Amino acid sequence: MHIALTILLSGGLALSPGLNKPNLITPLDTESHAQSTQVILLGTGTPYPDPAASGPATAVVVNGRVFLFDVGAGVMRRLKAANLPINGPEALFITHLHSDHTLGYADLILTSWVMRRRAPFPVFGPRGLQRMTKYLLAAYSEDIRIRTKGLEHEVAGGYRVNVHEIRAGVVYEKDGVRVTAIAVRHGAWKDAFAYRIDTPDRSIVISGDTRPSEALAKAARGVDILIHEVYSASRLAPEDRPGGKDWPRYCREYHTSDVELGGLAARIQPKVLILDHIIRMGASDEELLAGLRAGGYLGRAVIGKDLERY
Binding site for Zn ion (CB under 5 A): 98, 100, 209
Q: How far apart are CA 146 and CA 86, in angstroms?
A: 21
Going by the DSSP 8-state scheme, the letter that residue 192 receives in this structure is -
Q: How far apart are CA 108 and CA 96, in angstroms?
A: 16
Say if residues 182 and 268 touch (Cβ distance below 8 Å): no
Question: Shortest distance, CB of residue 256 to Zn ion, whole angstroms?
Answer: 12
How many CA atoms are closer than 13 Å to the CA of 98, on its beta-carbon side? 24
154 or 209: whose CB is closer to Zn ion? 209
172 or 231: whose CB is closer to Zn ion? 231
100 or 308: whose CB is closer to Zn ion? 100
24 or 92: whose CB is closer to Zn ion? 92
Tell me how many helices (H) and strands (E) the chain has.
Answer: 10, 13
265 alpha-carbon distance from chain centroid: 18
Q: How far apart are CA 209 and CA 189, in angstroms?
A: 10
48 or 135: whose CB is closer to Zn ion? 48
Q: Angle, to 10 degrees, between the axis of helix 285-294 and the axis of helix 258-268?
A: 60
Q: Angle, to 10 degrees, between the axis of helix 129-139 and the axis of helix 105-114?
A: 50
Note if 29 is an active site residue.
no
Burial class of residue 182, CB neighbours in 10 A (0-12, 13-18, 19+)? buried
Name the active-site residue from 70, 100, 209, 306: 100
Question: Shortest distance, CB of residue 101 to Zn ion, whole angstroms?
Answer: 5
Q: How far apart are CA 66 and CA 47, in angstroms?
A: 25
Question: Shortest distance, CB of residue 55 to Zn ion, whole angstroms?
Answer: 8
Report the catalytic residues. Answer: 100
